[in-house]
Structure 1
Amino acid sequence: MRLLFCCLLALLALPAAAQLTESFTDGNFTQNPAWAGDAASFEVNAQLQLQTNGPATTGTVLQLSTASTTANGATWEFYANLKLATSSGNYADVWLLSEQADLKGAGNRGYFVRLGGTPDEVSLFRKDATGSPVYVVNGRDQSLNSATNNLARVRVTRSLADGWTLEVDYTGTGQSYQLEGIGEDNTYLQSNYLGVLLTYSSSNSRNFLFDDFKVTDRLAPSVVRATPTAARQLDVVFDEAVATPQATGSYQLNGGPAVLTATRDAQNQNVVHLTLAADLPTGSNALVLRNIADLAGNVLAGPFTLSFTNSGFAILPGVNQVIITEILADETPVVGLPASEYLEIYNPTANIINLSGVRLLKPGSSGNPAVFPATATLLPGEYAVVCGSTRAEQFASYGKVFGVSNFPSLSNGGDQLVLRSPTSQTLFEVRYSDTWYKDSEKQEGGWALEMIDTTNPCGGLENWTSSTDPSGGTPGRANAVRTANADNRPPALQRALALTAASIRLFFSEKLDSVAAANPALYSVSGQSIAQVAPISPDFRAIDLTLTSPLQPSQPVTVSVQRATDCVGNATGAAATATVALPSAAARGDVVINEILFNPRTGGYDFVELLNRSAKYINLQGWQLGNEKPDGVVDASAISEVPFVLAPGQLVVLTERPDVVQAQYPTSAEPTAFLEVDDLATFPDDAGIVTLFDRSGAPFERVPYSAKQHLALLDDVNGVSLERIRADGGNDAANYHSAAASVGYATPGRRNSQLQEDPAGTKLFSVEPELFTPDADGQQDFTTLNYTLDQTGYAASVTIYDAQGRPVRKLVRNETLPTKGFVQWDGLTDQGRKAGVGIYVLHIELFRPNGGTKREYKRTVVVGARF
């Protein structure tokens, strides 16, 4: 009894740390309570009011704060007088709840009252770690309309249900409060500081006065629920932060095990963790609470009995034990769902999942992750909506909702989302794209993406589609599109890359089982020993191998993977191999522009294909691809920020949207050859110059192109690429031709449909092929006049005559020739019409301008047609 009495006295004697009264009657602001910040720019004046005395400089921002932990079920009051005309450059922010002592901090979070600003109003705002402040209560405009004397005594009340009330007495007496508005917001439930943050122009450095700060919390805490978290662990949740438990005697289980310890949660002071002396009985239980105090010293005297059921305790989730099953990234136009982005999560296990501390984030984003609260759980087979904290009310009718701070902004076109445990283990990852809708109308907005088969959580495009529910989605319940869609395919090794002389990265076609993939016995490298194996998070589609001895430049080795297991257990049978080498320095001409699509189909995207025609392995990291404009300015984009190595003879397709290009050329594209490039330079549809720069920024390759290079017989050149005819040829127009119709008018990542091998032999002039059919079917669409000259300095003219000796096409006119090359004829006349079927003569005039030597040659060619 004496112990209980002493504990009660201790609780009643708790300092009211969460309450605050400051009227500056002691003549200072450095103690009782202590304020800190830009202290040299403030003073307590003769009227015993806090007054600014800062630099007389336009744009000055001053701040002063003091400790205050009151956050809920409280009232904040203060007096202010702004002796100035408020504006966008002259206003005061009085922070009621602040996470940081430095109110200027860019990542600070909490709530503040703004006096002034452009609307000349008194309003309540919420400030998140990123983004602009948002209204909680929007006060009346022009309520502060004096140029010299804006009095305001402000009173803000927050209920335990997170309802906010803003009142202002513009006489400053506290006798004539007017209601400015009400609002609801539950984003922030804790506070560390209260303070003032002031912005002014040069003439207003002494024109801010404050007094009578008062924070009042007179409500005792109330218990919300008790949740078993382990056989001998019980979490008790209150509606506000509670004081550090003074004795385990404050908590007692009726007829149950003794409570050994009571510990307040370090992150969420609303939660107390109880440790029990024995296992908690299953079924109904009763917890008795006595003398629980909040941070202001308000005591729930009790005894208060809370009944709860132990139907099993929540466990921390493992990989794919909590998954994202629905995504609404584009909420407009509204179909039937709330106009708000959301995710749906699902518990596919037979256990209660403890989501406490689980983080939702977008890799690469600079913002803080969203964190699930300490009390968040998900029952077996249960769905829940996850959205921004201010949007939770919109989804209340859909079932369980987690409104979290820092909910990521979901990009309409696609994003990567990750769920991570408190220990940073990747629990689930998805990288969605708007192509997953598989419906052009639903892709425009208002419809959710839904997972088809929740037993196939690693499936991408094949396991997601647009919702078929009339409302646009099924938040909080089983998806409308659910059906069996198992993944029965094992992962494939796609390529290998030497990151450094001592490390190799392997890329796979799908997500791997990260535990199984970490086994070194599964891998071998010819002539090497492996020191370490590291699966790469968050999607585990890549594995890094660390070698014991260095690779040599452009000396290939073979990597072998004995078995690879995907994240749902499919394993490869036979070993897979890949060739890899340490890159060498590239020389001009090693990498060429092999194919260009500059005028894509409707809804399509440009692409440029590169070819490594050397015997080297070349790293494209840091290289750039761009469009050279007529004024010489180049609009360039980085090809890859990470290592990307081209093997000898390898092709790579550069585009913003590989998925779209592959969808438009399904039979002629090679998906493994694509490399996604953010913000690829725009290539004009009429003419331009494709430029390639190496990692030093030096020009490496330059190919002018024009729509006029396309085969003139084509009625529509949209979606038709220009292909390089000869890999070893030059970058002139004669070495490019429209891709063939038989392959869909482009071959991204595959052998060019118009590729022509350099003819063998030493004849001065030869025609290849001697019979051609210019019909864009990909079979002998053009012919080439090939030449090999005995010395430099020759110029040539080539005229084509029909069988009657009539000139048909002036193909070349007095052009200087290199010693080896070719001239292309596409079968068209000078008038742009297709030449008729028959025999034609190529009359060649070769002369040396300096020596006066002239030679003439004739070669025949046949224009045919397919029937």
Structure 2
Amino acid sequence: MKQTLPKAFVQIFSILAHAVLYISSALHLSLLTKRLLALCTPSPVFRRGLGGGLLLLPLLVQAQLQDDFSDGDFTQNPTWRGDQTSFIINAQNQLQSNGPAVTGTILQLVTPSQAAVGTTWEFWANLQFATSASNYTDVYLMASSEDLKNTSTSGYYVRIGGTTDEVSLFRKDAGKTPITVINGPDKTVATSNNVVRVRVNRSINHEWELLLDATGSGENFVRQGIATDAVYKRSAFFGVLARYSSANSKKFFFDDFRVVDTQPPALEDVQTQSLQELMLYFNEPLRTTEARNVANYTLNGNIKPALAELTQEGTAVRLVFSQTFRNGNNMLSIANLADLAGSILAAPLEVNFSFVLPAVLPGYNELLITEIMADEDPSVGLPQQEYVELYNPTDKLLTLQGIRFSDATTTTTFPNVQLEPGEYAVVVPNTQVSNFSQFGKVIGISNFPGLNNAGELLQLRQPNGRLIYAVNYADTWYKNNSKRSGGWSLEMIDVGNPCGAIENWIASENPRGGTPVQPNSVATPNPDNTPAILTEAIALTPDRILLRFNERLDSLQAAQVVNYTISPGINVQRVQVQGPLFTEVILQLITPLQERQVYTLTANKITDCTGNLSQQQQATFALPSDPEPGDVVINEILFNPRPGGVDFVELVNRSDKYINIQNWQLANLSNDSIANFRTITMANYVLAPKQYVVLTTNAANIKANYPAARQETFLQMASLPSYPDSEGTVMVLQPDKRVADRFSYTSEMHFGLLDDVNGVSLERLQLGAPTVSSNFHSAGNAVLATPGYQNSQTQASTLVQRIFEITPKVFSPDNDGFEDFATINYRTDKTGFVANITVFDSQGRKVRKLARNELLAANGFFRWDGLHDDGAKAGIGYYLLYIELFTLNGEKSEFKEKVVIGGRL
């Protein structure tokens, strides 16, 4: 039978429902709920109904248990399991034994309950027989298993009866004889009708109190004893066990079971497990949601853990932080944790613990250069002094004593200084220490290396020479032309990506020009998530191959011979990864390479510095041959760029050799003498047969002006010799000083009908013909220049038939994305053709002038979008394309092609 809610209760919970709408804090809601419950204390039946109906209060979890059997059912709400057929709910709504009349029978019922610490257990019992060693009941407050009869079950129970006719508290250890925790007075249940109400309290300090009301009313409790026992802090079940002789099979009565967790969890111990790991030990199991919420833990005022893990059956929390503990005293704040009953910490716990770090030498990438002031003049706001900033990215206490700091020409050593985890320090000459002390930790050294403004290699090494860190900075890393002129430092963007080069450095954004001994002004996540790319393979000698990668490698993994194969038929003997940047690999071969043979190098499972694994990559290469003049020739030149543009010279290897242009030079003529030499590249750079290379000072500028340019063919030089717009001579010299090719040009070589030659290149016509003026012509109007790909005016040695083809023959200029225009495709057999294209309608009237004196490339197309010259749309019908071709020599040809404009009538 369900009870009806009193009107007062309805009013109270109506208030609570409105309060929920205005109270956003979960803590406030919990406190309000507790206060209202304290006012009304509804019956067990009401509480169960509340949990399933209103849903205003937190659902009762297994740490709370209340059952008076007034619903007439013990199989649900809550569910009791065990010997269900041997129990009934009698007419008085009591749980009554109803087992077989067999002496020695043991009956049990259990229900889930995780209440363990800070808990009160209460129940009513009536044993209508004289208790004895064979007739008693054990009420398990905490049980590890639902099988109370099993000797392996552990926990705590209250025994009513027994030889001494008493009520006592016992601890049950698996496989062992029970241990008395509180021995109640004898003869408290010595009648043939024993009615009792029992209450057991356990504090958060594991102090037990046993109370007995022999009247069963709950108003006359008498303490039976107190004790302390902390062996078990976790429970899985609450239950009753009845042992009887045959006459007592139906004489056990139980009612008003009530288990309430009254106290929030208490922290018992804090232990450091590693440099970044803590274990928190609590007196009872915690509720999972709050325990795993990293927001509930704060280290040293502002550091949240990366992981909060519930362990040891819910009584311990493992915290893992992304940074190490402070050397010395640390403080941890713990808030909002709850036990399984929902009891929440009333206020944050603040726990202090100490931690001592051992000082060690840094390993590879464990001490970083994170800021470089290479050009301090003019000062923006900092002392006018070069400096480098050091950073400890580890969770270790680093000692810098004896560490070598060097550039290309100078090496110095650091004094006996320690760097805390996450700590910065600025390195300056001894004479500048006082000028930088305002910023934080300063390391003064003698013989401070002079930092090159344009860039150089800086290294940190252990006293034994082992590499710690290297950075090869350059002034291009500023990515800001005004800041590269002085007064601004270079800053690392993401200190978690120490292997990054130009993509992880940029000019400081701090108004003072830099941030010595502070997090960098440009700091932001910039992780390397892409594997290393094999950019090229170059044969240095017949038995040595150089591999270049676009980023630093894991030098140990990249040095494994099994990672490399060469086809056809070359075996690798040894691998050496070139330090200190580890972007280049040298392969020593067992058998020599042959000239003019193309080989395929396969690199498999190469790992970069940050651990990104690349799959199979391939690069083709060949053993370079000795060049002869005329093997590599000038293929295209832009000497008169558009305003704001730059010159370029394109070379092509027209031989069947592979040719290394390392240390080749560009030059010009001055007073009939070769002058103004510029080294093309000091690195190995092999041109395959028919391969182009575009030489310029600004590859981005060329790409912007000629979007079709193949950027992979660009080779950027610091400067080019002067090539004036009016006339000049391009000289290409081999390392042996022989002239590979030369080309003397004038502006008059451009096609005579061009209105504007700015931005138009001169292109070589026939690859095999000499480098003379007659073999060069202006690039076609459609492209203006062809840097890095086949010339628009290129000409084969065999003439081909002229072709004009219109596609589609029928089009509909309605902008629907399908055949919106007609294309007039052409292919000519020689250069120098000029085209006029006029569109006439079926009445012979001129509709559109598509081309007027248009210089043609070797192939290309024109397009008619179906519009008149005045922008009006042409009507549906037939149209004639009248095409005139002529040369400056007076040759002329005519072509007529038909096209149709279709559409809906």
Q: TM-score, normalised by structure 1?
A: 0.50
Q: Partners of 1:840 and 1:755 in 2: how far apart?
A: 16
What per-residue deviation string (whole Å, max 9, x for no partner) do you get for residues 579-614 of structure 1? Answer: 121112223332122333445678876543321122
Query: Is 1:705–2:707 an aligned residue pair?
Result: no
1:615 alignment partner, SS class: coil
Shift of 1:504: 0.8
What per-residue deviation string (whole Å, max 9, x for no partner) do you get for residues 98-150 of structure 1? Answer: xxxxxxxxxxxxxxxxxxxxxxxxxxxxxxxxxxxxxxxxxxxxxxxxxxxxx
Shift of 1:391: 3.6
Residue in structure 2 matching 1:519, options 560, 578, 585: 560
Go from structure 1 to structure 2 and tell me whether the alpha carbon gap of 1:690 and 1:360 turns closer, same or farther (over 3 Å shift).
farther
What per-residue deviation string (whole Å, max 9, x for no partner) do you get for residues 168-201 of structure 1? Answer: xxxxxxxxxxxxxxxxxxxxxxxxxxxxxxxxxx
Q: Are 1:347 and 1:382, in contact at CA under 8 Å, matched by a contact in 2?
A: yes
Q: Partners of 1:391 and 1:347 in 2: how far apart?
A: 22
User: Partner of 2:597 in structure 1?
Assistant: 555
Q: Partners of 2:547 and 2:506 in 1: how far apart?
A: 29
Shift of 1:638: 2.9
User: Partner of 2:611 in structure 1?
Assistant: 569
Shift of 1:737: 5.3
Q: Are 1:799 and 1:844, in contact at CA under 8 Å, matched by a contact in 2?
A: no
User: Partner of 2:468 in structure 1?
Assistant: 427
Q: Partners of 2:552 and 2:780 in 1: how far apart?
A: 36
Q: Partners of 2:645 and 2:795 in 1: how far apart?
A: 31
Q: Partners of 2:598 and 2:681 in 1: how far apart?
A: 22
Residue in structure 2 matching 1:377, options 404, 418, 433: 418
Shift of 1:474: 1.0
Q: Are 1:609 and 1:652, in contact at CA under 8 Å, matched by a contact in 2?
A: yes
- Name the aligned partner's letter for residue 796 of structure 2: D
User: Partner of 2:583 in structure 1?
Assistant: 541
Go from structure 1 to structure 2 and tell me whether the alpha carbon gap of 1:375 and 1:781 turns closer, same or farther (over 3 Å shift).
farther
Query: Is 1:323–2:323 an aligned residue pair?
Result: no
Deviates more, 1:456-465 or 1:635-644: 635-644
Shift of 1:545: 0.5
Q: Are 1:493 and 1:509, in contact at CA under 8 Å, matched by a contact in 2?
A: yes
User: Partner of 1:464 in structure 2?
Assistant: 505
Q: Partners of 1:714 and 1:388 in 2: how far apart?
A: 63
User: Partner of 1:649 in structure 2?
Assistant: 690
User: Partner of 1:474 in structure 2?
Assistant: 515
User: Partner of 2:727 in structure 1?
Assistant: 687
Shift of 1:536: 1.2
Go from structure 1 to structure 2 and tell me whether the alpha carbon gap of 1:725 and 1:404 turns closer, same or farther (over 3 Å shift).
farther
Unaligned 5+ runs, structure 1: 1-281, 285-308, 772-778, 788-797, 812-821, 828-836, 846-856
Q: Are 1:361 and 1:419, in contact at CA under 8 Å, matched by a contact in 2?
A: yes
Q: Partners of 1:713 and 1:418 in 2: how far apart?
A: 60
Q: Partners of 1:517 and 1:355 in 2: how far apart?
A: 29
User: Partner of 1:817 in structure 2?
Assistant: none
Shift of 1:508: 1.1
- Name the aligned partner's letter for residue 676 of structure 2: D
Q: Partners of 1:844 and 1:599 in 2: how far apart?
A: 27
Shift of 1:652: 2.6
Q: Partners of 2:893 and 2:620 in 1: how far apart?
A: 46
What per-residue deviation string (whole Å, max 9, x for no partner) do you get for residues 648-702 of structure 1? Answer: 22223334566x5577569555554344545643433443211112232111100
Q: Partners of 1:656 and 1:644 in 2: how far apart?
A: 17
Q: Partners of 2:669 and 2:826 in 1: how far apart?
A: 29
Alignment of 1:624-663 (within 5 A): 624-655=665-696
Query: Is 1:447–2:493 an aligned residue pair?
Result: no
Deviates more, 1:374-383 or 1:516-525: 374-383
Shift of 1:335: 2.2
Query: Is 1:592–2:633 an aligned residue pair?
Result: yes
Go from structure 1 to structure 2 and tell me whether the alpha carbon gap of 1:602 and 1:693 turns closer, same or farther (over 3 Å shift).
same
Shift of 1:447: 2.3
Q: Are 2:537 and 2:546, in contact at CA under 8 Å, matched by a contact in 1?
A: yes
Q: Are 2:387 and 2:426, in contact at CA under 8 Å, matched by a contact in 1?
A: yes
Query: Is 1:531–2:573 an aligned residue pair?
Result: yes
Q: Are 2:664 and 2:734, in contact at CA under 8 Å, matched by a contact in 1?
A: yes
Residue in structure 1 matching 2:404, options 359, 362, 367: 359
Q: Are 1:739 and 1:752, in contact at CA under 8 Å, matched by a contact in 2?
A: no
- Name the aligned partner's letter for residue 353 of structure 1: L
Go from structure 1 to structure 2 and tell me whether the alpha carbon gap of 1:421 and 1:637 turns closer, same or farther (over 3 Å shift).
farther
Alignment of 1:503-514 (within 5 A): 503-514=544-555
Q: TM-score, normalised by structure 2?
A: 0.48
What per-residue deviation string (whole Å, max 9, x for no partner) do you get for residues 465-520 of structure 1? Answer: 22222222211110111111111111111111111110111111211111111111
Residue in structure 1 matching 2:796, options 758, 763, 785: 758
User: Partner of 1:619 in structure 2?
Assistant: 660
Residue in structure 2 matching 1:786, options 830, 844, 848: 830
Q: Are 1:453 and 1:484, in contact at CA under 8 Å, matched by a contact in 2?
A: yes
Which of the pair has more CA radius of gyration? 2
Shift of 1:569: 0.9
User: Partner of 2:410 in structure 1?
Assistant: 368
Q: Partners of 2:448 and 2:503 in 1: how far apart?
A: 27
- Name the aligned partner's letter for residue 470 of structure 1: P
1:786 alignment partner, SS class: coil
Q: Partners of 2:404 and 2:696 in 1: how far apart?
A: 32
Shift of 1:781: 13
Shift of 1:566: 1.2
Go from structure 1 to structure 2 and tell me whether the alpha carbon gap of 1:374 and 1:861 turns closer, same or farther (over 3 Å shift).
farther
RMSD of the TM alignment (CA)?
4.5
User: Partner of 2:377 in structure 1?
Assistant: 332
Shift of 1:754: 2.4
Shift of 1:641: 3.9
Shift of 1:840: 4.6
User: Partner of 1:115 in structure 2?
Assistant: none
Go from structure 1 to structure 2 and tell me whether the alpha carbon gap of 1:379 and 1:780 turns closer, same or farther (over 3 Å shift).
farther
Go from structure 1 to structure 2 and tell me whether the alpha carbon gap of 1:583 and 1:347 turns closer, same or farther (over 3 Å shift).
same
Question: How many equivalent pairs are there?
Answer: 501
Percent identical pairs in the alignment equals: 41
What per-residue deviation string (whole Å, max 9, x for no partner) do you get for residues 199-248 of structure 1? Answer: xxxxxxxxxxxxxxxxxxxxxxxxxxxxxxxxxxxxxxxxxxxxxxxxxx
Q: Partners of 1:580 and 1:423 in 2: how far apart?
A: 39
Q: Are 2:777 and 2:793, in contact at CA under 8 Å, matched by a contact in 1?
A: no
2:509 alignment partner, SS class: coil
Q: Partners of 1:390 and 1:422 in 2: how far apart?
A: 24
